[in-house]
């Protein structure tokens, strides 16, 4: 029955995507983050849901009038440069005898990353007003709200004895990946609750926040816990009620340690001694050492996607006792796979998004403290802080949610300019020089 329901849902989304491409974007978001095929057991489990929705959406986009050219901002340029650099490092793998052994994996990952980047640019074309941006984030938040509620109920039923992950073999199936994703989604839920005009949706968002926090705790992810702490601080720092916010954080921490199972407490206590006693932490340090040595030998182009292979570990005398599990860090991943230039572009994108949102937020707090742009900018900043922290321990440099946040920064910059221009024109028409002088060009 589930298979039939999912097949029908994908068919409906494909038709809607062709007729109204924006609905195709929302459908792709649902399929990507919620991974509905992981909840089925028959034929629909093998249906490529993303392609089933995206292809009709792209065809519909060619004929749609509800579109525009992507806004050109600093982040747009950096994103294009990063994509081009991925192409260059992939070509290097094609022509390098040393890297030929992982060519198939490199091409496969390049395809997956290109899909995520393509959809980021598609969102820039389709999201032409704040209401569409709002719905994009409501769908994103809803995916994680349902997963968190489901997971927390399961965690309570089992006494929290098992770590919690996402849907099956999806990109957030692992407990650490799921913690990263929920940490990124938490500011989305919070700031949507702050700014949501619909009272019913607003109440649902507020009610779901404790489940999201509990979900991060129940993943047993130490990197997830650090990311949660950083994003809560980011929310408090951006709040007008800092003392109250710090009190709430202290209360949440106290409550977590009071009700958490003993196994969770023992796991978190290993943070202090992980480098000496924990095999997982030692494996990370080992992997980061390999990434550093490899990048020093290949500083410009790196090794391309999927560089962390047994053959290359053996080449550096690091094979044998350690099993290759991947880069374990977005920073070491970018450095080893795309060289120092790739890492520099990646960091520039991350910093640029935070600085741009900070600038927009500061500007609109002077012009209109109630502007809808402010909570969205706060959301992006907090989510990126969570990604930068938890991502330091996970190889998720190509995480779809990161590129969604970049696209959102570009959109917010575009909407901010358009709204400033509109207000300036309105002030000029009404001959209000005092108001006109307060609105920057």
- Which tens digit of pLDDT belongs to each residue from 36-77? 888 888 777 777 778 889 999 999 988 877 778 899 999 999
The two three-digit tokens of residue 433, written as one number? 């020089």
Mean pLDDT of the chain: 87
Neighbours of 50 (CB within 10 A): 19
pLDDT in tens, 222-232: 888 888 989 98
CA 270 – CA 311 distance, rounded (Å): 32
pLDDT in tens, 190-200: 999 999 999 99
At 260, is the pLDDT very low, low, confident or very high (cuts 50, 70, 90)?
Answer: low
Q: Which of 260-269, 343-352, 359-368, 412-421 has the highest mean predicted lDDT (pLDDT)?
A: 343-352
Pair 226, 387: CB distance under 8 Å: no
At residue 404, φ and ψ (nearest 5 deg) are: -65, -40
Least confident of 211-215, 320-324, 351-355: 320-324
- Is the predicted pLDDT of residue 269 greater than 70, yes or no? no
Which pLDDT belongs to residue 142?
96
Q: Is 430 exposed, middle or buried (0-12, 13-18, 19+ CB in 10 A)?
A: exposed
- Is the predicted pLDDT of residue 438 greater than 60, yes or no? no
CA 298 – CA 87 distance, rounded (Å): 17
Which pLDDT belongs to residue 274?
55
Rounded to an integer, the average pLDDT of 316-330 is: 73
Rounded to an integer, the average pLDDT of 273-288 is: 69
- Is the predicted pLDDT of residue 373 greater than 80, yes or no? yes
Rounded to an integer, the average pLDDT of 410-428 is: 88
Q: What string of H, E and C letters represents the secondary structure of the chain?
A: CHHHHHHHHHHHHHHHHHHCHHHHHHHHHHHHHHCHHHHCCCHHHHCCHHHHHHHHHHHHHHHCCCCCCCCCCHHHHHHHHHHHHHHHHHHHHHHCCCCHHHHHHHHHHHHHHHHHHHHHHHHHHHCCCHHHHHHHHHHHHHHHHHHHHHHHHHHHHCCCCCCCCCCCCCCCCCHHHHHHHHHHHHHHHHHHHHHCCCHHHHHHHHHHHHHHHHHHHHCCCHHHHHHHHHHHHHHHHCCCCHHHHHHHHHHHHHHHHHHCCHHHHHHHHCCCCHHHHCHHHHHHHHHHHHHHHHHHHCCCCCCCCCCCCHHHHHHCCCCCCCCCCCCCCHHHHHHHHHHHHHHHHHHHHHHHHHHHHHHHHHHHHHHCCCCCHHHHHHHHHHHHHHHHHHHHHCCCCCCHHHHHHHHHHHHHHHHHHHHHHHHHHHHHHCCCHHHHHHCCC
Q: What is the number of residues in the chain?
A: 441
Rounded to an integer, the average pLDDT of 238-246 is: 77
Pair 257, 245: CB distance under 8 Å: no
- Is the predicted pLDDT of residue 435 greater than 70, yes or no? no
- The share of the chain scoring above pLDDT 70, in percent, equals 90
Between 178 and 275, residue with greater pLDDT: 178
CA 24 – CA 31 distance, rounded (Å): 10
- Is the predicted pLDDT of residue 300 greater than 90, yes or no? yes
Pair 123, 405: CB distance under 8 Å: no
Which pLDDT belongs to residue 83?
97
pLDDT in tens, 128-155: 999 999 999 999 999 999 999 999 998 8
CA 83 – CA 30 distance, rounded (Å): 24
At residue 317, φ and ψ (nearest 5 deg) are: 65, 30
Rounded to an integer, the average pLDDT of 332-354 is: 97
CA 170 – CA 31 distance, rounded (Å): 10
- Is the predicted pLDDT of residue 259 greater than 70, yes or no? no
Distances (CA, A) of 173 to 30, 182, 329: 15, 12, 17
Pair 413, 71: CB distance under 8 Å: yes
Closest CA to 263 of 300, 219, 304: 219
Residue that is written with structure tokens 């060009």 in the block: 441
Rounded to an integer, the average pLDDT of 247-272 is: 69
Domain boundary assignment for the chain? 1-67, 70-406
- The share of the chain scoring above pLDDT 90, in percent, equals 56
Between 342 and 229, residue with greater pLDDT: 342
- State CA 404 to chain mean position distance: 6
Which pLDDT belongs to residue 148?
94
Residue that is written with structure tokens 């070509």 in the block: 91
């Amino acid at each position: 029955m589930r298979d039939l329901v999912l097949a029908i849902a994908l068919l409906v989304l494909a038709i809607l995507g062709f007729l109204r491409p924006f609905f195709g974007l929302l459908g792709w978001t649902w399929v990507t983050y919620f991974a509905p095929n992981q909840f089925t057991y028959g034929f629909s489990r093998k249906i490529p849901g993303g392609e089933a929705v995206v292809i009709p959406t792209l065809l519909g986009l060619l004929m749609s009038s509800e579109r525009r050219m992507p806004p050109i901002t600093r982040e747009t340029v950096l994103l294009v440069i990063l994509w081009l650099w991925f192409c260059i490092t992939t070509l290097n793998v094609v022509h390098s005898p040393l890297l030929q052994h992982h060519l198939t994996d490199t091409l496969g990952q390049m395809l997956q990353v290109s899909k995520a980047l393509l959809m980021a640019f598609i969102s820039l074309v389709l999201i032409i007003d704040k209401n569409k941006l709002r719905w994009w984030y409501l769908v994103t938040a809803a995916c994680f709200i349902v997963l968190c509620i489901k997971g927390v109920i399961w965690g309570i039923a089992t006494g929290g004895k098992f770590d919690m992950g996402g849907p099956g073999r999806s990109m957030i199936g692992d407990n650490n990946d799921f913690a990263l994703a929920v940490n990124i989604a938490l500011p989305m839920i919070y700031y949507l609750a702050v700014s949501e005009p619909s009272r019913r949706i607003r109440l649902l968002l507020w009610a779901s926040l404790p489940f999201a926090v509990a979900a991060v705790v129940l993943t047993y992810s130490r990197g997830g816990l650090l990311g949660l702490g950083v994003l809560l601080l980011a929310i408090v720092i951006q709040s007008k009620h800092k003392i109250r916010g710090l009190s709430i954080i202290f209360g949440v921490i106290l409550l977590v340690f009071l009700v958490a199972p003993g196994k969770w407490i023992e796991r978190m206590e290993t943070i202090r001694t992980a480098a000496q006693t924990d095999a997982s932490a030692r494996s990370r340090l080992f992997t980061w050492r390999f990434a550093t040595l490899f990048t020093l030998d290949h500083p410009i182009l790196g090794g391309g996607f999927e560089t962390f292979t047994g053959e290359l570990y053996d080449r550096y005398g690091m094979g044998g006792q350690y099993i290759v599990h991947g880069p374990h860090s977005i920073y070491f991943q970018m450095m080893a796979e795309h060289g120092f230039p790739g890492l520099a572009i990646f960091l520039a994108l991350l910093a640029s998004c935070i600085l741009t949102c900070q600038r927009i937020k500061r500007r609109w707090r002077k012009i209109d403290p109630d502007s809808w742009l402010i909570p969205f900018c706060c959301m992006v900043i907090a989510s990126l802080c969570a990604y930068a922290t938890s991502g330091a321990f996970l190889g998720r440099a190509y995480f779809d949610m990161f590129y969604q946040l970049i696209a959102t920064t570009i959109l917010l910059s575009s909407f901010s300019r358009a709204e400033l221009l509109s207000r300036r024109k309105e002030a000029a028409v009404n001959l209000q020089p005092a108001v006109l002088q307060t609105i920057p060009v």
